[in-house]
Amino acid sequence: MPQVHRRFMLKQAVAAGAACVPSSTAANTWNSTTVQRRFTMDLTGGAIGVRTGQVDSISLAAEYGFESVAPNAGYLAALDENGRNDLTSLMQEKGIVWGAAGLPVEFRKDEDTFRSGLKSLPELAKAMELAGVTRVSTWLKPYHPGMTYVANFRQHARRLRECVMILGDHGQRFGMEYVGPKTLWASERHSFIHTMAETKDLIAEIGRSNVGFVLDSWHWYTAHENADDLRSLTNKDVVACDLNDAPAGLKIDQQIDNRRELPSATGVIDLKTFLGVLVEIGYDGPIRSEPFNAKLNAMGNREACAATAAAMKQAFALVGG
């Protein structure tokens, strides 16, 4: 087929069958209004300075319009069958589902610390399985004071592969969050993974089907990434997601990791595009806010939940609510 005809037919097919996909001239934006979100507005209390137990977090989530909550593996492991049934009934009554649990293994320190944590993972993963938890997440430190990039990469792949295999035996997907700010990854002698592309390398090296990403609008922004980077992923690749904005008046490479803003607070980060592409790829997991914001952390539990819920609803409205 002549090249010009083939290109014309491809364009016609795209226009007819994939109206929700933006054209190449708008590769870094999102404009669709025809696709509904599948992700949940998630309450992860520790990320916004809210300190409550598992049951109270479920009640707070329902009260302020959240749709999922972060599971606490230790709490779930302490429950017997009756306790699990009661918790399940409460969640059903409140209309709340599970978000993503944190990985209960310290893999960033010495080998003995890692091995000690790994021993308890099968029991914790089993408890999460019994409670219906299917997502577990962690973050990657983007530097090391003494270990070179290659040595650190090999250690991460080896240790996290062991965790991923155990989680996989209990029906859980595992997501890793890269940390993007240059002010952080350039702060020590050896920088480490701080972009989506590098995280893909680690995922490939781990080599298990249940490992993927924790995306964060903040790290996507500070890593100088765009919509096409997000479009390189599928729903299967994304385990969890964080939603944050950035302080105004700073260049990207001047942003400080623990000085963020609630979603849509400043408009510095293009959350419409970020969320829009997540809608586009059919992402169906939790989205939580993690602003590391002193003003928010100083609030009471209810006030912090209300402020976070309002900010997230405002951001979700950018893509249809």
Q: Which band of pLDDT confidence, cut at 50, 70 and 90, is reported for residue 8?
A: very low
- Domain membership flag for residue 138: yes
Residue 240 in any domain: the answer is yes
Let me know: does 66 contact 47? Beta carbons within 8 Å: no
Are the C-beta atoms of residues 18 and 30 closer than 8 Å to each other?
no
* Predicted confidence (pLDDT) at residue 35 exceeds the cutoff of 90: no
What mean pLDDT is predicted for residues 50-68? 98
- pLDDT surpasses 50 at 9: no
Q: Is the pLDDT of residue 127 over 60?
A: yes
- The reply to whether 112 falls in a domain is yes
**Whether pLDDT at 300 is above 90:** yes
**CATH of residue 176:** 3.20.20.150
**pLDDT tens, position by position, 185-238:** 999 999 999 999 999 999 999 999 999 999 999 999 999 999 999 999 999 999
Count how many domains the chain has: 1
Assess if residue 21 is contained within a domain: no
Does any domain span residue 170?
Answer: yes
Q: Residue 312 and residue 321: Cα distance in Å, rounded?
A: 9
pTM: 0.89
Whether residue 142 has pLDDT greater than 70 = yes
Of 28-42, 67-81, 155-169, 212-226, least confident by mean pLDDT is: 28-42
In a domain, 16, yes or no: no
Q: Specify if 244 maps to a domain.
A: yes
Closest CA to 30 of 314, 281, 274, 284: 274
Domain of 252 in residue numbering reads as: 28-319
